[in-house]
Chains A and B, each alone.
Chain A
Amino acid sequence: MKLIGLIVVIATGLLLLWGVTDFPDWADPQSPASTHLSPHFLTESIEETAVPNVVTSVLGDYRGFDTMLETTVVFAAGIAVYTLLRRSRRKDLREKPEMIEEELPHQALIVKTICRLMAPFMQLYALYVIAHGHHSPGGGFQGGVILGASFILLAIGFDLKMVLKRMREKTTLVLGILGVLIFSGIGMVCVLLEKNFLDYSALSAILPATDIIMARSHGILGVEIGVALAVMANLVLIYVNLSSDGKYERGL
């Protein structure tokens, strides 16, 4: 079995190596990937959407459908982990590790203090990454992951109960749903304003003092906030359920 696997892997590798001979050289400015669609994004992004960070404008505007469905995938994964692990009544064949006695408070004092000090700064930085994604590297996905990581850091440094007290299960679920709803809701508002789904230029009719171009910039910001909420809530949901096996008792 292992030998067959090795043969298949090496055959695949050789096929790929053979295919690579036709590929463009590394960092070639004239490679096919860089000469068809991407020059349009690079030259028109500022004029069409007023967003200098082209990655953000492509993510939120030009490829809005893709991003919306990726957010939905993250949400669906969070819900899948939740339904698989939470409150199962099936019999359990696992060998349970022995519970370790709660350590004395002074033993983890340094870890706890540093985690407590780090968390607010991480969350502040995450908000900066989300809000400043138009002008610097950042955006909804990155900021959402940093926000989720701040909660996971607290769950590791303290225990799961401390996080669940601040970020209840219901809140996490509602935030995850709200994130996807914000994204698709902004798309629906565009339809109600008689433009295409996710065509943010329609938003200039309801946002004060915005022309068509700035409306697209603001639309991207709204969408990024939705993405950040969904990613943060679902990462926390996945971590909390996986680390405590859906029982929400102690965690790692």
Chain B
Amino acid sequence: MSADVPPPLYQDLFIVCHHENGKPLIHRSSISLGLAGAVLIDLALYGRVRLKGRAVVVTDPTPTGDPVVDAYAGAFQRDRPELDAVTWAKTVSADSYDRARRQLVRVGLLTEVTGRRLGMLPYTRYRADMAAIVRASTDVRSAVSGWREMDARGAALCGLVLALQVHTELYIGQSSAQLTTTLRTIVNEHSPQVKELVGLFEALIGEAAVAVYR
């Protein structure tokens, strides 16, 4: 991918869902589902798949060039022609977090930092590059402030950020309720495709919270 092409959505989402010291802001199972959603949205925005009801139809089998997106996209071609999006997302979320993190380390946006708590308990964190943190949240900030026209990628990121309830961590000068309304409006009014995909993953995240086992 060339330098002026934005990075895959899952990379920005991963960074937005973590504190700059690498600590997750929300439950890992929720981030994993959000990342699965981001990959599917990436595929849809790159024109590789489209939703037909809840089934995912492959429209262009050409790889995108991102190893994570392409690895997961393979399932749509391998398993069956119209794989159910939810089934796919639940399978993908089993390891989407680890895969995304590895890729972010590989491209230099995350740096592995090890240390010991209280001098004894070892820990490993993945700190994000400050420029990446600023860039990752730019779409959401610009959408809320209205100083840039929102594209589908930005609207989808707004939706996923809202679904994962990390929008309040972006320090945008609006109250939580106001910010929620603004982001919801952006998602609902951008395009049916973005609204449908974000809604699907919002429901998935909700149902995962009341799952018997996880």
Whether chain B is bound by chain A comes out as no
- A contact set with B: CB distance below 8 Å: none
